[in-house]
Amino acid sequence: MNYLQYTRFTFTALTLLLILSESGFSTPPAKLLSHPYQVVIERDLRGVPHVIGMRDVDAAFGLAYAQAEDHWALIESAIPFYRGNRASFVGKEAAPTDFIVKWLDIWGAIDSGYETQLGEASKAYLEAFAEGLNYYASIHPEEVTLDVLPVTAQDLVAGYMVQHLLFYGFDSTLEELNQPTRQRQVGKSPGVNRDGLPVGSNAFAVAPSYSEDGATRIAINSHQPTTGPVAWYEAHIKSGEGLDIMGGLFPASPTIGVGFNRHVAWAATVNKPDLVDVFLLDMDPDDSMRYRVDGQWLSLRSREVPLRIKLFGFLNWTFKREVLSSIHGPVLRTDHGVYAVRYAGAGEMRQIEQWLAMSKAQNLEEWRDAMRLHRFASFNFVAADSGGNIMFVHNSMTPNRVSGFDWSEYLPGDRKELIWDSYLPFDALPQLYNPKSGYVHSANQTPFKVTAAPYNPDISKFSIEDGFPTRMTNRADRGLELLSSLGPISAKEFDEIKHDKAYSTNSRAARYVQSVVALPLSDKIADRYHDAQRHLSNWDLSTDLDNRGAALGTCIIGGEWLAEQAGDPSPDPFSELKRCTDVLLKAKGRIDPLWSDVNRHVRGGMNLPVAGGPDTLRAIYGLGLEEDGFLTNVAGDGLYYLVEWDSQGRQSIRGTHQYGSATLDSSSPYYSDQAQDYVDEKLHDPLFAEDTRKDRVLRRYSP
Q: pLDDT class for 300, splitting at 50, 70, 90?
A: very high
Q: Cβ contacts of residue 494 below 8 Å, gap of 6+?
A: 206, 217, 219, 642
pLDDT tens-digit map of 330-339:
999 999 999 9
- Indicate whether 587 pLDDT > 50: yes
pLDDT tens-digit map of 364-381:
999 999 999 999 999 999
How far, in Å, CA of 524 to CA of 201, rounded?
43
Q: What is the mean pLDDT of residues 254-282?
A: 96
Q: What is the pLDDT of residue 272?
A: 85
Q: What is the pLDDT of residue 28?
A: 52
- Indicate whether 30 pLDDT > 70: no
How far, in Å, CA of 676 to CA of 593, rounded?
22
Parallel/antiparallel/unpaired status of strands 631-636 and 599-603: parallel
Length of the chain: 703
pLDDT tens-digit map of 186-240:
754 332 222 333 357 999 999 999 999 999 999 999 999 999 999 999 999 999 9
Q: pLDDT class for 32, splitting at 50, 70, 90?
A: low
Amino acid letter for position 484: S
pTM for this entry: 0.92
- Indicate whether 37 pLDDT > 60: yes
Q: What is the mean pLDDT of residues 673-677?
A: 98
User: By percentage, how much of the chain surpasses pLDDT 90?
Assistant: 83
Q: What is the mean pLDDT of residues 339-344?
A: 96
Partnered with residue 28 across adjacent β-strands are none
Q: Half-sphere exposure of residue 86, counting CA atoms within 13 Å on the CB side?
A: 19
- Indicate whether 265 pLDDT > 50: yes
What are the structural domains of the chain? 202-232+247-274+361-402+421-498 (3.60.20.10), 508-616+619-636 (no CATH)
**113 or 471, higher pLDDT:** 113
- Indicate whether 594 pLDDT > 80: yes
CB 683 within 8 A of CB 677: yes
**388 or 29, higher pLDDT:** 388
- Indicate whether 163 pLDDT > 60: yes
Backbone angles phi, psi at 516, to 5 degrees: -75, -45
How far, in Å, CA of 42 to CA of 698, rounded?
8
pLDDT tens-digit map of 503-526:
999 999 999 999 999 999 999 999
- Indicate whether 168 pLDDT > 90: no
- Indicate whether 685 pLDDT > 80: yes
Tell me if residue 649 falls in helix, strand or coil: coil
Look at 305-309, 560-564, 647-651 and tell me which has the smallest mean pLDDT.
Answer: 560-564
pLDDT tens-digit map of 427-440:
999 999 999 999 99
- Indicate whether 467 pLDDT > 80: yes
- Indicate whether 638 pLDDT > 70: yes
